[in-house]
Structure 1
Amino acid sequence: MAVTPGQPRIERFILVYALAWAGGAIAYTPFLTLLLPERIADLLGPARAVDWLSGIAFCGAVAASAAHIAFGYASDITRNRRGWIAAGLVLSSAVLAIFPAVSGFWPTIGVVVLWQCGLNMMLAPLAALAGDVVPDARKGLLGGALSFAPALGAASGALVTWPGLAASDARPAVVAGLVVACLVPVLLIRLPRPPGGQPDAATGAGQADAEARGRNRKVVVRMWLARLSLQIAEAALFAFLYLWFRAIDPSLGASGTAIVFGAVLVVSTPVALAVGRWADRHGRPLAPLSACAAVSAVGLAAMALSRGTVPAIAAYGLFGVASSVFLALHSAQTLRILPRPDRRGRDLGFFNLTNTTPSLVMPALALALVPTFGFAGLFATLAGLAALAAVLVPRIRA
């Protein structure tokens, strides 16, 4: 492939952007999965902590959904993505630093809601920034680079809770420091102009005819529904993976489950990079999404049928790698199909609902299926959703 004049600069930006995206994962992964539950359990004890965490998680999800749309739209209007990113970084980091001093149910909810507002003030314009800068021909590489974020988010949780590294009350501040280190480069780097320039924001929505806009809306809706379908399966596995492994093999334990989960994240990263580059070279941006969703469905079906430790780990590995690649590439390729460059931040906020809604849907789905049909029934249903995602992904060429 020939190297265009702006390509090295674009690829440098993608590396810096991937670090910033990983910083976003570091901002929320250890806090939501480790530091917040630990703090609540220390204050109340494990029995009462479940009720508190459920209420806090619900309020946080609602705040995150609204804030992502609002601040994405604000960055569209002001055309100043990095100003909003910096403001969100300051706010979310400050809230993390003061979190250990907060106690009580309503004060804790208030702090978490404020933190979600700051976090999404940072993440919403950050997501749109990639669409402003990275050309369609490099969206596959971008998606592969984004796959580093979940692994680094999980690794940051292990780092900040490492025995002797930091006292419990200092851990949120350590997380904030890591996030700042990851985000500052993208705030300082000189932004490249992709080949051909960007569509004019003032006229980008009005130049296509009605038929083309209608086709594009259908593509957007199908991409939204495809991600939602697979994200429901991803959310269910995130919540119930340990319980399922424990039911199959009690000796596996939390440590063994964490090792399997981490190994899947590590393997998925080079796979996503390779698949993303393939999509760029062959001009088939969405074909890998259909394939990954189909493989995810096969993995979930195999999980429903698994009866031993090794088959269960292999089946989850198949699902975990395929779904991780799907989600990373989908995040990048969504930037390709959004209809209005001047409202990219707002529209990505609506796509972000596919990340928050499954946390509200999944508990009801599990309660309806697991008591009667066991985990096999749940995984069979999720396999159907993954297969639906494979069908929903549109067939387009670059």
Structure 2
Amino acid sequence: MTTVRAPGAPAEPVLPVGRGWTAALSLANGAIWVGWFGPLQILLASQAKDFAPGAGMSKESLLAWVTGAGAVVSLVANPVFGALSDRTTARRGRRTPWIVAGTAGGALSLLLLAGAGGPWSMAAGWCLAQLTLNAAFAAVTAAVPDQVPRLQRGAVGGWLGAAQILGVVGGTGLATAAGGITAGYVACAVFTVLGVLPYVLRYDDLRLAPEDRPPWSWRAFVAGFWLSPRRHPDLGWAWLTRFLINLSNSLVLLYLLYYLRDRVRYDDPGRGVLVLTAVNSLTLVATVVVGGVWSDRVGRRKPFVVWSGVLMAVATAALSAWQTWPGAIVAAAVLGLGFGVFTSVDFALMTDVLPKAADRGKDLGVINVANALPQVAAPALAAPLVNDLGGYRTLYLVAAVIGLAGAVLVNRIHGVR
């Protein structure tokens, strides 16, 4: 087993991590995203189409209800498991036990979804998948500020972002190519497990000595999840900008399958989603690592986040104005360019504004609420926009305005250049 040299848990890391460590952590991150996005892009939508007539609602409403319920679970799970990992004194370290347990639970949850017989079992399976996979994701994310120096975080964030989007593509591809809903869930579950093994088997985690763990108090534990924007304004603005840009992106993705089927009239919408995801991924991969490395070298974060957000808003507006298959391809490509830079540099920016080293897992979990909360807000916002207020043209125009607002508000962060 290879040991990564790093300082104790509360300290800021100073020794660079190696390529092997970065590659293994990135693969684990991508595997978790396979477990999420195979269902989100293809499988849940397909099940919603099958179950909606018996549930007495539209496929759009059923999908929104299930994904929204899962997102509520994610809102709670990510910061809670992050906080628990901060306090973990296991022999294998603070983060690794949660990566292992969360991945195993996530795989079992996907297998339960494969056997879902109706909307209630579908919702229960997805909520359980969100609970367990968020335990693993919270621990993977916290490993970065634990072990990566500040001036290397843009690059590491870039590789994590590349793995994330490849996980989205891989999950979509597995769900599409498997040949059915059950086979799709099984394929995603197997890949999720295999993807985390190199990291947990090869690399040691940082350990927290029992005497360094603070005394347990329910009141202090719960109170710790409130990070006051007054006391930590940079963190507050960073959280808001991430929320708005992710909300815009969630609005784009939520009904993409239905957009291609009902508005673009694409013959095979499932294949269309896969093609658009692949195009988006190619352009994202072209910028995600480059953007992170460039940000590290110039020592600046905000300009990269601002202009990537603006570019994404322009691409989203194109989906509103140019509702054709070529328009969708162009928009997917431009979104990838912007989201690549945003993914790596925003991650580094977030780690730069963390208030307290000892609470990295919990604080990153609170920050990651800005990733999960849009999944709750997007269905509630998107359904009336599509059904009652102008359809997909209005949906994507609103999404563009929201994303642009997030890009502009990055300038309110003063402690990071």
TM-score by length of 1: 0.81
Superposed displacement of residue 338, structure 1:
0.9
Unaligned runs of 5+ in 1: 194-199, 203-212
Quickly say closer, same or farther: Cα 1:186–1:39, change in 2 above 3 A.
Answer: same
Contact 2:82–2:135 (8 Å) recurs in 1: yes
Which residue pairs with 2:221 in the alignment? Answer: none
- 2:250 counterpart of 1:235: yes
For structure 2, the 5+ residue unaligned runs are 1-13, 207-211, 215-227
Quote the residue 2:408 is aligned against.
391
Q: Which position in structure 2 is the counterpart of 1:208?
A: none
1:336–1:374 CA distance, 2 compared to 1 (3 A): same
Instruction: Give me the CA root mean square deviation.
Output: 3.2
Aligned position for 1:30: 38
In the alignment, which of 294, 318, 322 is matched to residue 278 of structure 1? 294
Distance 1:106 1:256 in 2: 29
Higher percent of residues as helix: 1
Match of 2:109 among 95, 102, 115: 95
Aligned to 2:5: none
Change (3 A) 1:152 1:112: closer
Give yes or no for contact 1:88–1:120 (8 Å, CA) kept in 2: yes
Q: Check if 1:353 corresponds to 2:369.
A: yes
- Of 132, 135, 149, 2:149 maps to 135
CA distance in 1, matches of 2:327, 2:316: 12
Residue 161 (structure 1) shift: 4.2
1:11 equivalent in structure 2? 19
Structure 1 residues 373 and 396, CA gap change in structure 2 (3 angstroms): same
Matched, 1:179 2:192: yes
1:214-293 equivalences in 2 (<5 Å): 217-244=232-259, 249-251=264-266, 254=269, 255-293=271-309
Whether the aligned pair in 1 keeps the contact of 2:175 and 2:188 (CA below 8 Å) is yes
Sort the Cα spacing of 1:58 and 1:302 in 2 relative to 1 into closer, same or farther, 3 A.
Answer: closer
- For the Cα contact (< 8 Å) 1:201–1:342, is it kept in 2? no
Name the amino acid aligned to 1:217. H
- The number of aligned residues is 375
8 Å CA contact 2:254–2:379 kept in 1: the answer is no
Q: What are the equivalent positions in structure 2 for 1:1-398 lying under 5 Å apart?
A: 6-7=15-16, 9-39=17-47, 41=49, 50=59, 52-78=62-88, 80-148=94-162, 149-162=164-177, 169-191=182-204, 217-244=232-259, 249-251=264-266, 254=269, 255-306=271-322, 310-311=326-327, 313-367=329-383, 369-370=385-386, 371-393=388-410, 394=413, 397=416
Q: Once the 2 structures are TM-superposed, how far is the Cα of residue 137 of structure 1 from its aligned partner?
A: 0.8
Return the letter of the residue paired with 2:77: A
Any conservation in 2 of the 1:216–1:337 contact (CA below 8 Å)? no
Whole-angstrom distance in 1 between the partners of 2:185 and 2:291: 35
Equivalent AA in structure 1 for residue 65 of structure 2: G
The residue number in structure 2 matching 1:209 is none
Q: Partners of 1:353 and 1:161 in 2: how far apart?
A: 29
Residue number in structure 1 paired with 2:220: none
Runs ≥4 residues deviating over 6 A: 213-216
Which string of whole-angstrom CA distances, capped at 9 and with x for unpartnered residues, describes residues 72-112 of structure 1? 11001125111111111222223333444453544443333
| TM-score between both structures, scaled by the size of structure 2 | 0.78
Q: CA deviation at 1:175?
A: 2.1
CA distance in 2, matches of 1:151, 1:360: 24
What do the CA deviations read for 1:142-188 (whole angstroms, capped 9, x no partner)?
A: 12112222233322332354256xx7545433322211211111112
In 2, are the aligned partners of 1:303 and 1:316 still within 8 Å (CA)? no
* Counterpart in the other structure of 1:210: none
Distance 1:110 1:373 in 2: 32
Identity, % of aligned pairs?
25
Q: Distance in 1 between matches of 2:183 and 2:257?
A: 28
Contact 1:290/1:391 (8 A) holds in 2: yes
